Structures are given as C-alpha cells and as structure tokens.
C-alpha cells in the first residue's frame, strides 16, 4: 500500500475490516525504511529521484523541488490568511522536545527553548530546522486481530474504535484551499463519529508532524480549536506539553523522536493506550486519536483507539 504518511492508519483500517469479515485471523501491518546511508547526510537521504518531464516539471522549474519547499508554501499561506507566526510554530517543537526528553527511543532528547527554535537555521522560509522532522532508519509493526484473540495475548489489547480516510489531492489550482484545510477535516469527524465520541472526549493526540505546521493544521481541522486560531492555541502555556490539558505527540513525534512515517504516531498511540510509556505516560488514555498525513496534504487517515486508564 502507498498513501505516504497516511498509509499506517489505512493499513490498520483494512486489516480490521479483513478480520471482521473473516478473511483473516491476524494481520501484520509493517513499515521499514533505511534512507540514512554511511557517509551521507540526512539532507541527502531523499534526493536523487528522477526529475519530472513536461508539464509535470513546472513546479520544480519554479523552485518547488521537494516537500520542504512545498510545505513551506502551505505554511506561508496559513500565516498570511490567519496571522500564524513562526514563534507559534516553535511552541509545538518546544513542547514535543519536552516529551522526547522522557522517551529513551527518541533521537533528540535535549530540551530546547523558543529562542533555540528561532536561532536554528532556516531550511525554507518560514521553516527553521527545528520545524522539520528527522530522518531515521528503522521499522515498526502493528498486529491486528480479533478482540477475543487479543485478550489472550501477552500484551494489553488496544481497541480500534473508529477510522476515516480522506484524499483531497494537491491540485495546485487557483482559489483552492491548499494550506488552509487538510483531509483531517473529513477523516477526523468520520472516525470520531464511528467511535461514538467527540474531540472533547480525546485524552491523547498523536499527530503526523512532518513539520510543526502540519500538527497545527491538523489540530484545527479536527476541531480542537477554531480554524485560524491554531497558532494561539498551540502557544498557550499548559496545553500541549507534559502535564498539559491536551497531550500531543507524547513520544516527541517525528520532530524529536524518530521518523517512521505514519508508524511514529501510531506506535506511540499504542504504547500510551496500553499504559506502557513509563515516565511520559499520561494519566488518562481511554481515547487516543491518531493521524497520518500523506503527500503534500494529499491524503489523510485517522484512527480512534481505546485503551484503559
């Protein structure tokens, strides 16, 4: 399957459907990647792809040559429309690093400040280095089976309560909503409705954070704050970080922990739902919301998982 960063959530959905239909007893949803090579920088990990030809090359000819530049365009549009600032994006990076400091699996565990974020080099304006996800080698797997079978296994079961997908595509046409709305606006409500809960019932949020901006946009589209108010929401003290009212990316996310595409938020969601996160474990973890974002806001998957407090 390939829906980029939304693939993990989609895999779990189809695996659950297969088990419910009796087509399979147990399904392994697997992801692995090894972009880092000896002697090469992380910046070179995803380069070397063939360049598009003809009309497909117009964006690249204009300078939009990789996800950094294309997401920067989306973030800048959000900034111009709603007044979102770089400092507000930085608040997400700071909060997630505080979570990563308690995660032994995280690649980056040294706490940072907003001043550190602002001082980090620009990658593509408005993104500083600390706005961008890591590059990681590794693998992860999630096993999906029936509820009865799961109860007999060694690990505490985590229930799949709801799911949703949306694939708006990245049309790049005049007067569209690129940068302002993502597929989360459709997949989120669908998954929550299926689970029979609302955003006010969510205890933990594990969002796909290829950039700080992506996490902010997804919070808006899920309805944790009003559209355009994401910047003020994420920068409010006592919201996202450890001990906050809305625990976000409690393992450090892709910004500070590791980048396993959609498996990063999904794996941390399962750990939290099971109550196995150690020092970073949140008190309430009955309802865990998980997102996956693919392409340049092309695809989105949402899962609602149930744990026990």
Active site (catalytic) residues: 208, 259
Range 39-42, long-range pairs (CB < 8 A, 24+ positions):
42/134, 42/135
Distance CA 189, CA 199 (A): 9
Sign of CA dihedral 225, 197, 288, 218: negative
Distance CA 133, CA 60 (A): 22
Distance CA 80, CA 228 (A): 10
Q: Are 148 and 156 in contact (CB under 8 A)?
A: no
Tokens read off for 12: 């779990």
Distance CA 72, CA 74 (A): 5
Distance CA 92, CA 216 (A): 8
- Backbone torsions φ then ψ of 204, nearest 5 degrees: -135, 140
Q: Which residue has the tokens 């744990």?
A: 307
Distance CA 272, CA 269 (A): 5
According to DSSP, the residues that pair with 30 across neighbouring strands are 141
């Amino acid at each position: 399957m390939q829906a980029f960063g939304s693939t993990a959530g989609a895999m779990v959905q189809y695996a659950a459907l297969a088990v419910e239909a009796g087509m399979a007893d147990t399904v392994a949803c697997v992801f692995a990647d090894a972009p880092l090579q000896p002697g090469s920088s992380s910046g070179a990990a995803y380069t070397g792809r063939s360049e598009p030809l003809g009309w497909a090359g117009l964006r690249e000819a204009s300078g939009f040559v990789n996800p950094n530049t294309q997401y920067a365009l989306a973030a800048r549009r959000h900034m111009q429309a709603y007044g979102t600032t770089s400092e507000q994006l930085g608040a997400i990076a700071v909060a997630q690093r505080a979570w990563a400091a308690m995660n032994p699996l995280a690649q980056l565990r040294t706490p940072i400040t907003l001043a550190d974020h602002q001082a980090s080099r620009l990658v593509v304006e408005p993104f500083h280095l600390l706005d961008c996800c890591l590059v990681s080698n590794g693998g992860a797997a999630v096993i999906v089976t029936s509820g009865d079978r799961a109860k007999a296994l060694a690990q505490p079961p985590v229930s799949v309560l709801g799911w949703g997908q949306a694939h708006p595509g990245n049309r790049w046409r005049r007067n569209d909503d690129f940068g302002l709305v993502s597929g989360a606006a459709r997949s989120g409500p669908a998954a929550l409705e299926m689970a029979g809960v609302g955003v006010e019932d969510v205890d933990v949020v594990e969002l796909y954070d290829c950039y700080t901006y992506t996490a902010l946009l997804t919070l808006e589209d899920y309805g944790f704050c009003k559209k355009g108010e994401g910047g003020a929401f994420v920068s409010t003290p006592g919201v996202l970080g450890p001990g906050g009212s809305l625990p976000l990316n409690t393992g450090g996310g892709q910004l500070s922990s590791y980048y396993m595409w959609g498996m990063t938020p999904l794996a941390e969601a399962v750990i939290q739902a099971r109550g196995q996160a150690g020092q970073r474990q949140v008190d309430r973890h009955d309802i865990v919301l998980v997102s996956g974002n693919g392409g340049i806001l092309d695809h989105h998957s949402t899962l609602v998982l149930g744990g026990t407090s």
